[in-house]
């Protein structure tokens, strides 16, 4: 059986094949995602909101992440498994090494994701030197929601767009092997995807990223509260969970999702 690795996703970027990613938090959903051929699965700290019912991702603990990553790993067959490092679990390079070590050794993750730009460069370097693949996360960083004053589109003015671009390039140079770009204007995401050699996975970042990610509950229409602009509910056109996930995969591969309606200018 072939397994999807970071090298596989790099090759897909080179060949212009779109990469599909969805979140999962348990073994059963993971099996559905696998059956639909999702390329990579993210155990997001969004679990704080969609599983635990918290108001933000901030209360999620390393133990929570390890538990859910282990559940997902049991249902995984082929997809690359990425786990989020939760808020305040990577405040120093040493702490990041310990958190990432747990997510990989106890949880079974293949890669860890962390939020932040230039302040994370040394941490990314240390993780990479220790054989831990890193996915960076720029644009809207939900762990900084209180600093940002809400869940807002980032990089709308020239200065903040330049900062995101410079951070993206610096993170790649520090060793990051993937980048999630959340809620940034479509043109900025397209430019960053073109500039970087590593795969850039967008959420609310337009169709020109190398791949797309959504929170699985959002694309099944069970978002609590207001549905963000970048989310599409695939359930009405599909009728079942497996069919909705398959429709998402096909729409991303065929560049039919996201449309302008799901993007920011
Ligand atoms: O926590 C999460 O699910 C995420 C994705 C929304 C990218 O970070």
End-to-end alpha carbon distance in the chain: 41
What element of type H or E holds 212? strand 211-214
Q: What are phi and psi of 28, to 5 degrees?
A: -65, -50
Pocket mutation for ligand 1, best pick of 24, 42, 109 (most atoms within 8 Å of C-beta): 42
Residue 115 located in a structural domain: yes
Pocket mutation for ligand 1, best pick of 213, 219, 228 (most atoms within 8 Å of C-beta): 213
Q: What is the pTM of this model?
A: 0.98
215 Cβ below 6 A of ligand 1: yes
CATH classification of the domain holding 78: 3.20.20.60
Exactly one of 122, 159, 182, 237 is catalytic; name it: 182
Residue 108 located in a structural domain: yes
pLDDT value at 262 more than 60: yes
Q: Total domain count for the chain?
A: 1
Q: What are phi and psi of 234, to 5 degrees?
A: -90, 0
Task: Give residue-wise pLDDT tens across range 62-82.
Answer: 999 999 999 999 999 999 999
Whole-number mean pLDDT of the chain? 97
Residue in 181, 116, 120, 164 with CA at minimum distance from that of residue 143: 116
Residue 83 located in a structural domain: yes
> Quick one: average pLDDT of 177-192?
98
Q: Which protein residue has the closest C-alpha to ligand 1 atom 8?
A: 44
Query: What pLDDT score does 108 carry?
Result: 98
143 Cβ below 6 A of ligand 1: no
23 Cβ below 6 A of ligand 1: yes
> Quick one: average pLDDT of 101-125?
98
Residue 180 located in a structural domain: yes
Q: Give the C-alpha separation, 178 to 197, whole Å.
A: 9
pLDDT-derived band at 226 (thresholds 50, 70, 90) equals confident
**Do 170 and 117 form a contact (C-beta atoms < 8 A)?**
yes
pLDDT value at 129 more than 70: yes
Q: Give the C-alpha separation, 63 to 216, whole Å.
A: 22
**Residue 172 designated active-site:** no
pLDDT value at 210 more than 90: yes
pLDDT value at 1 more than 70: no
Query: What pLDDT score does 223 carry?
Result: 84
Q: Which protein residue has the closest C-alpha to ligand 1 atom 4?
A: 44
83 Cβ below 6 A of ligand 1: no
pLDDT value at 25 more than 70: yes
Length of the chain: 265
Residue with tokens 């049991």: 74
Q: Give the C-alpha separation, 227 to 215, whole Å.
A: 11
238 preceded by a cis bond (ω within 30 of 0): no
Residue 1 located in a structural domain: no
Q: How many CB atoms lie within 10 A of CB 204?
A: 27
Side-chain half-sphere CA neighbours of 41 within 13 A: 34
Ligand 1 atom closest to the Cα of residue 115 is: 8
Query: What pLDDT score does 2 carry?
Result: 61
Percent of the chain past pLDDT 70, that is, above it, reads: 99
Percent of the chain past pLDDT 90, that is, above it, reads: 97
**C-alpha 46 to ligand 1 mean position (Å):** 6
Domain span at 42: 6-262
Task: Give residue-wise pLDDT tens across range 160-178.
Answer: 999 999 999 999 999 999 9
């Amino acid at each position: 059986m072939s397994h999807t690795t970071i090298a596989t996703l790099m090759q897909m970027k080179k060949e212009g094949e779109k990469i599909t990613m969805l979140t999962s938090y348990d073994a059963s959903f993971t099996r559905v995602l696998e059956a639909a051929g999702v390329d990579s699965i993210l155990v997001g700290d969004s679990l704080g909101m969609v599983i635990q019912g918290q108001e933000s991702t901030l209360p999620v603990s390393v133990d929570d992440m390890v538990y859910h990553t282990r559940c997902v790993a049991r249902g995984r067959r082929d997809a690359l498994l990425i786990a989020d490092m939760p808020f305040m679990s990577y405040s120093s390079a040493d702490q990041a090494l310990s958190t990432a070590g747990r997510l990989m050794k106890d949880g079974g993750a293949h890669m860890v994701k962390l939020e932040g730009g230039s302040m994370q460069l040394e941490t990314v370097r240390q993780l990479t030197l220790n054989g831990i693949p890193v996915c960076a996360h720029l644009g809207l960083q939900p762990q900084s929601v209180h600093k940002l004053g809400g869940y807002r589109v980032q990089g709308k003015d020239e200065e903040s767009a330049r900062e995101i671009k410079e951070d993206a390039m610096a993170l790649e140079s520090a060793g990051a092997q993937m980048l999630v770009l959340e809620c940034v204007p479509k043109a900025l995401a397209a430019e960053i995807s073109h500039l970087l050699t590593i795969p850039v996975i967008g959420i609310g970042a337009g169709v020109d990223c190398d791949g797309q990610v959504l929170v699985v509950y959002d694309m099944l229409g069970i978002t609590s509260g207001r549905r963000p602009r970048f989310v599409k509910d695939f359930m009405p056109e599909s009728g079942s969970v497996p069919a909705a996930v398959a429709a998402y995969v096909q729409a991303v591969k065929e560049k039919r999702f996201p449309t302008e309606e799901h993007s920011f200018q």
